[in-house]
Amino acid sequence: MTSVITFLIVLGVLVFIHEFGHYIVARYCGVQVQTFSLGFGPKLVSRKWGPTEYCISIVPLGGYVRLLGDDPKEEVAQDMQDKAFLSQPFKKKAAIVIAGPLFNLLLALVIFIGVFLSGVPSLTSDVGEVQADSAAFQGGLKGGDKIVGIEGETISLWEEIREALQKHGGQALHVAVDRAGRRVNLTITPTKKEIKDVFGDEQSLWVIGILPKGTHVVQRYDPFTATIMGVKRTVEMIEVNLIGIVKLILGKISSDNIGGPILIAQMAGKQASEGMLSVLLFIALLSINLGIINLLPIPVLDGGHLFLFIIEAIIGHPISVKTKELAQQVGLFFIISLMVFAFYNDIMRFFVNQA
């Protein structure tokens, strides 16, 4: 039950932010919004304010914003043409289409900034274990030591140790250590280790052969630093998602990794059990994923609409209704096939886990 409730909350937030992006930019551009719906299918709750109907529909897997004149076959009165979507210039149509995915990316950015402002649990620079015959062992580092400086730079967190090792490469490092209240200066030369990243690619990493003790502190940042770190983390996650999509298309990542609502619900439940911070970070990661996927140039997705608008801007006239309908059908077939495949993977994971 916790998984289901968390899943609905997470999905509701993602869908609302995405559709609100379309909605608010359409309003700003002077386009009339006919319907703002969370969910698809029959309407559970509906209320009309002004020209817009706001509703919650029975199928929670998405939502939509319907704009006046967004269907080429729709007849729009002459005196309403200036409020019709397809009557707008390219810049306005592009802005409205991009707004949904962009708001998803902005949501992730806001969450990351908020997390860095409120405080992030971070490992301290206390050394738990020194591996035998490692660079650290040979340099005289011992379990229980606390690394306080590397090459003159103050160190207090484990992440800072990793960053310093990669920054200075394989050169001999002057390492300052607090050993039971006594300062000890050591010289340690990192060694190169080949590891696999999240995509299975080989990467070189400079290491000295130590493990943390698991001591954490809550690291809070000032607004400026939190903003910089939030932007950096958002960009990193966007890059990871793009690389993952490319590798999936090229067949370098198994399609078995594709998941649907069941997997998301399971993951949402797991994050809920770990606390609000985990849920917020989960929302941020899903929001980035949703934003990027919607920008792909596939008909029926926002990126597909944008792609068609760009073509129209280049050729100087609207694409025929028949061509658009064909493109929509192809895109819809692709999306439905992907959803079916994701559901299949979810079901197979469920039975494998049960076994």
Residue numbers annotated as active site? 19
Nearest to 227 by CA among 102, 112, 103: 112
Sign of CA dihedral 297, 299, 301, 307: positive
Edge-to-edge strand ranges of the sheet holding 153-154: 153-154, 146-150, 173-179, 182-188
- Hunting for tokens 């707004």 — which residue is that? 99
The Cα-based distances of 204 to 161, 171, 191, 253 in angstroms read 16, 15, 10, 21
Sorted by sequence, the CB contacts under 8 Å of residue 136 that are 6+ apart come out as: 127, 130, 188, 208, 209, 210
- Provide DSSP, 44-97: EEEEEETTEEEEEEEEEEEEEEEETT-STT----GGGGGG-GGGS-HHHHHHHH
Count of H-run helices and E-run strands, the chain:
9, 12
Angle, alpha carbons 249-251-252 (nearest 5°)? 110
Establish how many alpha carbons lie within 13 A of residue 279's alpha carbon, considering only the half-sphere containing its beta carbon: 19
Q: In angstroms, rounded to a whole number, what is the distance separating the alpha carbons of residues 263 and 348?
A: 11
Q: How many CB atoms lie within 10 A of CB 63?
A: 24
Q: Which residue(s) pair with 43 in the sheet?
A: 57
